[in-house]
Structure 1
Amino acid sequence: MFTLTINQTDSRRDGDLVPKLLKDLRHIPARLDFDRSVEDEVQGVLDCPHQTVDAALIALRAGAWFVGIGVGPVNEPLPNQIKDASGHGLVYARRAVDRLRQGKERVPVAVDGPLPDLTHEAEAVLRLLGHIVRDRSEAEWRVLDLLTPGVRGQQKAVAQELGITTQAVSKAVARSQWNEEHAARPAAARLLSLILEVR
């Protein structure tokens, strides 16, 4: 399983951003739903590495979160609430987020689990993806939020909806490295899944 522990970087400065993050994550299918665990922290447990990558990038996009991913078991039967859960996956996620809180990483995502080499590789790919996501402008996100990965011929419709040219949409897609991001997401997910498979 994949546990995410997502801790707000500065709640004193930014106020409580947990409700907004929970709203942004509500469409991600989870074994144990994302919920506030303590104060300015959100946790969730997922089965799918692809959805784990999705959730991590949603949090990184906001620019206000440390994202720790723990790869390992969570004790079953699962409780009704994340705050009552236990197991190695949660310990790994806590270690990952604690490591971020002590460092100065530009892209605050960390992975921890039983296989250090694979966790470091997964973390490196997620940091590259997070760098792409965090550096986008609001104008680029207005375009990208209307696109669906892998669907051809969307740019004209997006241009019409936003009242801009198709060329402007095309430039936003290229400048934001949207295609490169979506091509690399499966690599991050595969590395996360390998940590479970090799055990």
Structure 2
Amino acid sequence: MYVLTIDQRGSTGDIDRVPDLIAELGTLTHAPFERSVGDELQGVLEDAAEVVEIALHALRSGRWYVGIGIGTVQLMTGASPREGSGSGFVAARKAVELAKGAAGQVPLSVVSGSMGRGREVPPAAKEGSMASANAQAVLRLIGRVVQQRTEAQWRVVDRLRELQTGEGRHGSQKQVARDLGITEQSVSRAVLRSGWPEEWAARPAAAMLLDYARSQIEGDR
């Protein structure tokens, strides 16, 4: 399972943005996200692609630290994430703290939990840890692209996504140009400079690495 712990950056000098983010995430996943403590929210997911989607959405505004924990989860069906336990929750807590300390880097970390006993780290746990580190590297790279996107570029990208075009094909770009009242050339430039095709192509790689890390941790039970 995946546990996401997302904490608001600079919350002492800002308004409480947790309710708004919870509402936004409700449009991206059926998994419930709830305030865990203070200006922090938490959710438990099974699908790696949803984890990627939510993490990048949170990074978009630059207002959140994102911690992704991979591990076991004990949580009754329909229960609040606050009632959960297991190595996934421990890993998510460590991940968000590491994200807070990632000075100058994209504020996201991925940590895998382990059910290993004693001092010896099981081989599967080592593989899971390596896959988690690789997933983190890919997500930070995509996250940098997302965070550097301008508002004008986001308008184009958002409209392309609404039209369900992963790669911004020519016909879709014509529709976006009409919808936004700009030229096709402007749309093409925005797509190119936004890094949207590269982001969309890299998302499955991040999800695959998260899935692999999860498979190693589950095999370590």
TM tier, shorter chain?
Answer: over 0.9
Distance 1:134 1:82 in 2: 28
TM score, norm. by length of structure 1? 0.94
Amino acid at match of 1:38: V
For structure 2, which runs of at least 5 residues remain unmatched after alignment?
114-127
Whether 1:11 and 2:11 are equivalent positions in the alignment is yes
Whether 1:159 and 2:177 are equivalent positions in the alignment is yes
Distance 2:168 2:47 in 1: 23
Whether 1:110 and 2:94 are equivalent positions in the alignment is no
Aligned-pair identity (%): 46
The equivalent of 2:58 in structure 1 is: 59
Q: CA deviation at 1:161?
A: 1.0
Amino acid at match of 2:178: Q
TM score, norm. by length of structure 2? 0.85
For structure 1, which runs of at least 5 residues remain unmatched after alignment?
none
Whether 1:45 and 2:44 are equivalent positions in the alignment is yes
Larger Rg: 2
Q: Which moved more, 1:149-158 or 1:186-195?
A: 149-158
Which of 110, 126, 140 is residue 139 of structure 2 equivalent to? 126
The equivalent of 1:22 in structure 2 is: 22
Whether 1:69 and 2:82 are equivalent positions in the alignment is no
Superposed, 1:164-183 pairs within 5 Å as 164-183=182-201
Q: CA deviation at 1:190?
A: 0.2
Counting matched residue pairs gives: 198
CA RMSD of aligned residues (A): 1.4
Distance 1:109 1:99 in 2: 8
Asked if structure 2 preserves the Cα contact closer than 8 Å seen for 1:30 and 1:44, the reply is no
Amino acid at match of 2:41: V
Q: CA deviation at 1:105?
A: 4.0
Amino acid at match of 2:53: D
Amino acid at match of 2:140: R
Q: CA deviation at 1:85?
A: 1.4
